[in-house]
Structure 1
Amino acid sequence: MRPVVLCFSGLDPSGGAGLQADIEAIGQAGAHAAVACTAITVQNSQQVIGFEACAATLVEAQATTVLDDLPVRVIKSGMLGTIDNIAMLTRLFAERIIADGTPFVLDPVLVANSGGSLGDEQTLVAAFRKLLPYATLITPNTHELRALSGEQDLHIGAQKLCAQGTHAVLVKTSHDFDSGDIEQYLYVQGEMIHQSTLSRLDGEFHGSGCSLASFIAGRLALGDALTAAVIAADHWITQTLIAADAPHPDDAKAQLIPNRFVKITAST
């Protein structure tokens, strides 16, 4: 069968982010998505109203059942929501997954893109730092990068996360809205090995970050090298955002939902 990406992510009822974004993005990358649901959120395309996390024992049972059944090539995590879930995944890597050398794409969700709190940030950051050494690639937004590293300078922050054990960090300035075009930098073991500039599109998007991370995971599952997977994901996500759906077309400030099923043209 197609190579499998096992995702740890929450349910977004609007379908813009979370596990639905993972499933669609990984499918578009050419892989198969299996999902261990970490939380049920109450949210729409514009805001998070609340959430209830799944018990860590339930999330682990979902994951181990998949690991025992399907050829999992890559692990991807998004919203984990509680320190218990983060600790469970850390332990799962230490006791089982790390022995397989399975790549791990970590999207360290601290706050939903639509602005809702997903838990006490300081506590989540402390728990995530124990998970970092197992990450092949971490894809934080600028807020998450600064929170995890304790550094305001994004480059120093990426190097610090690598020093803490993360293999690679994808730095994205998409959340720095006064920075003009979006700059991306891929750091591997503390060295910047790839840089790209993406045109900043009008509007804000619901689910773009998890879509990008999941597409990268899908391409890694198919055997792409890390840099090639990032370049392919940049090309794909740009076109999904250009074709994004507008739930509230009369509200210029409303978030848009990436069209992850848009027909992708060849990159030039």
Structure 2
Amino acid sequence: MRPTVLCFSGLDPSGGAGLQADIEAIGQSGAHAAIACTALTVQNSQQVFGFSATSKELLLAQAQAVADDLPIQCVKSGMLGTTENIAALADFLRARPGYLYVLDPVLVANSGGSLGDQATLVSAFAELIPLAALITPNTVELRALTGEQDLERATQRLFAMGAQAVLVKGGHEDTPDFIRNALYIDGELASETQCPRLPGEYHGSGCSLASYIAGRLALGDDLKAAVHHAEVWLFGVLKNAETPVPDGQKIPKRF
């Protein structure tokens, strides 16, 4: 069987982000996706209206059932929603040190709306940061996680908190013509990419990128290669994204 990525993520009824984005992106990477659902959300491609988090007991039961059955090589997390779920995932990972782990530190959806109390989640994420082979914050999340406004200081602060590698995503920065991403490994800049900024906003781009990276890691790519493959793939699916509402957020066309 193909190597498996186990994703801890929430259900987005629109199919743009969350667990459906994970499944589609990991499938496109060549790996198999399994899901431990962290929350049911009420949202569409434009807005988050609310959510109900899975209990930590149910979350761990889902993950354990998959771990007993499938060849997991990598774990990826997106929306976790509660500090209890963050702690449960940390326990799950510490018991399985052989799993690679990609942490997408989701705090607020691009479509707007809270996915948990941000200050509380930021504090809880400190437990997950040292367990991750890669952390994929956008610059808003990076500043929130570290309390630093300068991006270089913020990135180095993550390494001081125990990070192994960080992919800083620049889509939220004020660069109207391009987006710059920077991959740091062990505190050093390992690679830097720049692509044209496509028009509009996208629902689920961060989920898609992190999940594709996780899929490539599960298949055996090294970190730099996994990130490169994922960035190339993501640019293509965003170029072909679909627009459900005029002038609204677009949904990446992952197939």
TM-score calculated relative to the size of structure 1: 0.93
Q: Report the 3-state secondary structure (helix = DSSP H, G, I; strand = E; otherwise coil) of the residue aligned with 2:172.
A: coil
Q: For residues 188 and 156 of structure 2, what CA distance do their matches in structure 1 show?
A: 7
Structure 2 gap ranges (5+): none
Contact 1:22/1:214 (<8 A) preserved = yes
Q: Match of 1:35?
A: 35
Q: Percent identity?
A: 62
Q: Report the 3-state secondary structure (helix = DSSP H, G, I; strand = E; otherwise coil) of the residue aligned with 2:127.
A: helix
Contact 1:159/1:187 (<8 A) preserved = no
Alignment deviations for residues 235-259 of structure 1 (CA, whole Å, 9 cap, x no partner)? 10000000000101xx32x100000
Alignment deviations for residues 142-189 of structure 1 (CA, whole Å, 9 cap, x no partner)? 111001111111122112111211110001110124453101110011
CA deviation after TM superposition for structure 1 residue 130, in Å = 1.2
Q: How does 1:67-106 map to 2 (within 5 A)?
A: 67-94=67-94, 96-98=95-97, 100=98, 102-106=99-103
Q: Does 1:260 align with 2:225?
A: no
Alignment deviations for residues 112-147 of structure 1 (CA, whole Å, 9 cap, x no partner)? 110111111110000001110001100011111001
Alignment deviations for residues 67-98 of structure 1 (CA, whole Å, 9 cap, x no partner)? 1111100000000000000011111122x112
The one-letter amino acid of 1:171's match is V
Q: Match of 1:264?
A: none
Q: Does 1:170 align with 2:172?
A: no
Q: Report the 3-state secondary structure (helix = DSSP H, G, I; strand = E; otherwise coil) of the residue aligned with 1:175.
A: coil
Q: Match of 2:47?
A: 47
Q: For residues 222 and 211 of structure 1, what CA distance do their matches in structure 2 show?
A: 17
Bigger mean CA offset, 170-179 vs 55-64: 170-179
Q: How does 1:11-22 map to 2 (within 5 A)?
A: 11-22=11-22
In the TM superposition, structure 1's runs of 4+ consecutive aligned residues that sit over 6 Å from their partners are: none
Q: For residues 241 and 58 of structure 2, what CA distance do their matches in structure 1 show?
A: 34
Q: How does 1:173-188 map to 2 (within 5 A)?
A: 173-178=170-175, 180-188=177-185
Q: Report the 3-state secondary structure (helix = DSSP H, G, I; strand = E; otherwise coil) of the residue aligned with 1:130.
A: coil
Q: Match of 1:118?
A: 115
Q: For residues 153 and 2 of structure 1, what CA distance do their matches in structure 2 show?
A: 41
**How large is the Cα RMSD of the aligned pairs?**
0.9
Q: For residues 69 and 208 of structure 1, what CA distance do their matches in structure 2 show?
A: 30
Q: Report the 3-state secondary structure (helix = DSSP H, G, I; strand = E; otherwise coil) of the residue aligned with 2:126.
A: helix
Q: Report the 3-state secondary structure (helix = DSSP H, G, I; strand = E; otherwise coil) of the residue aligned with 1:19.
A: helix
Q: For residues 82 and 242 of structure 2, what CA distance do their matches in structure 1 show?
A: 31
Q: For residues 184 and 201 of structure 2, what CA distance do their matches in structure 1 show?
A: 26
Q: Report the 3-state secondary structure (helix = DSSP H, G, I; strand = E; otherwise coil) of the residue aligned with 2:244.
A: coil
Structure 1 gap ranges (5+): 262-268
Contact 2:176/2:197 (<8 A) preserved = no
Q: How does 1:4-15 map to 2 (within 5 A)?
A: 4-15=4-15
Q: For residues 83 and 31 of structure 2, what CA distance do their matches in structure 1 show?
A: 29
